[in-house]
Chains A and B, each alone.
Chain A
Amino acid sequence: MRAGPSQEEIRRHNLGALLRHVHLGGPTSRAELTSRMGLNRSTIMALTSDLTAAGLVREELPRETGRAGRPSLVVRPESSRVYVFAFDVGPDRLAAARVGLGGVILDRRESVRRRGAFDLEEVVGALAAFARQMHRKTRADTVCVGAAAAVSGGVDRSDGVVRYGPNLLQAEAPFGEALARKLGLGLQVSVGNDANLGALAEHTRGVGVSVRDLIYLHGDVGVGGGVIAGGHLLGGHEGFGGEVGHMVVHPGGRLCGCGSHGCLEAEVGERALLEAAGRTTEGPLGRDAVRAVVDAADRGDIVAQAALSRVGDWLGLGVANLVNIFNPEMVIFGGMLREVYLGSAAQVRSRLAIDALPAHREKLRLRTSELADDATLVGAAELAFAHVLADPLEALARVGG
């Protein structure tokens, strides 16, 4: 039996906690860190000097305080020196970004892809090429400390294998492993579900900062979700949790890609909206097509209005169920659901007024994603930084920084 954490474990925990403060809160003075972390000044000084020596943070005199006394040094993250690679594999785009400590997007590459089955080799090749281009442009003193990817599919928490993805990669794709090999940076690539990572991103850097219970709904071809409860992402037993798109809202309704009928995704996804608006045959798909329907409805097109109102009704029903179960403080609409919500809010909220419990809906806030199209990338970057924040010095030693 152990007596408690050792000195070394406490120090490691404090280093991580301090780095997390600076990573999420931006430049912070030592005095502020002292009060926020509840540690004494000499401990904070020792911790910052360790992190400074490792090249993770830098200390500077503040510009001006306007107050009497010696100004407290400001601790800044070394955003331009310490970075990760974040990837996003969506149905309509492949994106990669180089994200500095502190969450600054330093560089990014994006390509539009045509809908269709994913070829693992092709996707991994394109993403690795983006990363290599960006890596080549970095200075010699920079250090890459991690990499992570967001994919729209079910990702097994234990091994990063994409177990299913009706809209995407073939089942059982060892995506993380393949991308890590192709990158050749000696880094592991963590993989997460895109909506889960979007939830994490809005919670740490978006509209949901300081909100401990929120639900993020992400729409592209399908509908994904991420549930943050008590400040933690609900993953479930194997990490597949949060698939709100496959909650059945309409038994015997439209056929879903998963094989079931009347899933939320089948009733409010892109295909449902476009079909209801009579715009399936040819023409654009994706965000532009969704926007065109909202635009047409706004201009008085009754078919488009009816389509949006129908989709909004189902969306409201789905949200009402979620609100009754999880009692979140905030529900965030991301991806194409941002347009759908803004274009059908009257239906969504009417449904909520009818079907959500009064106590649950009273203080509920409905918001659209603040990070918009960057939500999944920002979430992937946070996932890539996770091990650095858990144990900064060890993580840095491993990459030889």
Chain B
Amino acid sequence: MNPVLEVRGIDKSFGPVQVLHDVTFAAYRGEITALVGDNGAGKSTLVKCIGGIYPIDAGDYLFDGEQVHVGGPRDAGELGIEIVYQDLALCDNLDIVQNMFLGRERRSGLVLDEATMEEMAQQTLTSLSVRTVKSIRQQVSSLSGGQRQTVAIAKAVLWNSKVVILDEPTAALGVAQTAQVLELVRRLADKGLAVVLISHNMNDVFAVSDRIAALYLGRMAAQVKTADVTHAQVVELITSGRSGDLGLTNGVST
């Protein structure tokens, strides 16, 4: 199977500090790829390079098998890559529909096409089997943490996106809401999207992911199928960059 999104040999430095060394990473259609690593391993930097926020110093960026140049967030958006950040970037004083269409409102003539936007928002939520939100005209300030996460994820899906990257979507949620968000993330992939999930919680990673990519000090220690590894192996990859045959040799990928 060919990946939808693939980066090869990515290098990234901030001044004298090299944050990513020769990183290769791929995300596949219909699968959840968990991106794991200790604090400072380079997860966020890698995601920002993919999202076009940071330019890459070296390496190839392939989308649907074609070499592309991503010069900014807009380019990534046009390819169909959406990133849901930890702080969600929702506006508290707007309702769910307004948030989902923020900056990309539908118009009919001079006025906003509220009816179409409402219908599209409702369809998206229904297609994701979201039952927790009562009214889509509710203000976001009245929503719980889990519901906000749901809206932010639905917003990313609304735009026919092909790759959705989620940064710690279950951090700071209670157990019931974590379960709902994990099930939602799983449904995104089952609908055919390529999902990248950044998480520190190994249970969340193992519960939903199909592949695990472990970063260690700016290098990709290994990208493996979740079905083939144990919890202990993944922890070793995160903390020491290698585990048995997997991972880096002398700090360099083989």
Contact = CB atoms under 8 A, between A and B. Distances in A.
A24 interface: no
A298 B229 contact: no
A341 B227 contact: no
A349 B226 contact: yes
A50 interface: no
B231 A346 contact: yes
Interface in B194-246: 201-208, 225-232
Q: How large is the interface on A (under 10, 10 to 19, 20 to 34, 35 or more residues)?
A: 20 to 34
Interface of A: 291, 294-295, 298, 338-339, 341-350, 352-354, 358, 361-362, 364, 366-368, 370
A370 B205 CA distance: 19
Nearest to A364: B227
B45 interface: no
Given A342-B207, A345-B203, A345-B207, A298 B178 contact: yes
Contacts of A341: 207
B47 interface: no
B232 A350 contact: yes
Among A344, A350, A352, the most chain B Cβ lie within 10 Å of the Cβ of: A350
Nearest to A370: B129
B9 to A, nearest CB: 29
Contacts of A347: 231
Given A342-B203, A344-B203, A346-B203, A353 B230 contact: yes
A370 to B, nearest CB: 7
Given A294-B175, A368-B179, A368-B183, A346 B205 contact: yes
B174 interface: yes
Given A345-B206, A362-B227, A291 B232 contact: no
Contacts of B17: none
12 contacts: A294-B175, A295-B175, A342-B178, A342-B182, A344-B203, A345-B205, A346-B205, A349-B206, A349-B226, A350-B230, A353-B228, A362-B227
Nearest to A361: B227
A349 B182 CA distance: 16
B183 A346 contact: no
A295 B226 contact: no
B186 interface: yes
B176 interface: yes
Given A344-B203, A345-B207, A348-B206, A295 B230 contact: no
A342 B183 CA distance: 10
A345 B225 CA distance: 15
A350 B231 contact: yes
A353 B179 contact: no
- Decide if the interface of chain A is mainly helix, strand, loop or mixed: helix
Contacts of A348: 206
A342 B179 contact: yes
Contacts of B206: 345-346, 348-350
Given A345-B207, A348-B206, A367-B186, A291 B227 contact: no
List 10 tightest A-B contacts by C-beta distance, closest first. A345-B207, A350-B230, A345-B206, A346-B231, A346-B206, A346-B202, A295-B175, A350-B231, A349-B206, A361-B227
Contacts of B183: 368, 370
A311 to B, nearest CB: 12
A346 B203 CA distance: 5
A352 B178 contact: no
A339 B175 contact: yes
Interface in B134-181: 174-176, 178-179
Contacts of A344: 203
A202 to B, nearest CB: 13
B34 to A, nearest CB: 11
Contacts of A361: 227
A69 to B, nearest CB: 26
A152 to B, nearest CB: 23
Contacts of B204: 342, 345
Nearest to A312: B203
A341 B208 CA distance: 10
Given A346-B231, A358-B228, 12 more contacts: A294-B175, A298-B175, A298-B201, A338-B179, A339-B179, A342-B207, A345-B204, A345-B205, A350-B231, A352-B227, A353-B229, A370-B129
A295 B174 contact: yes
A144 B174 CA distance: 42
Nearest to B131: A372
B102 to A, nearest CB: 29
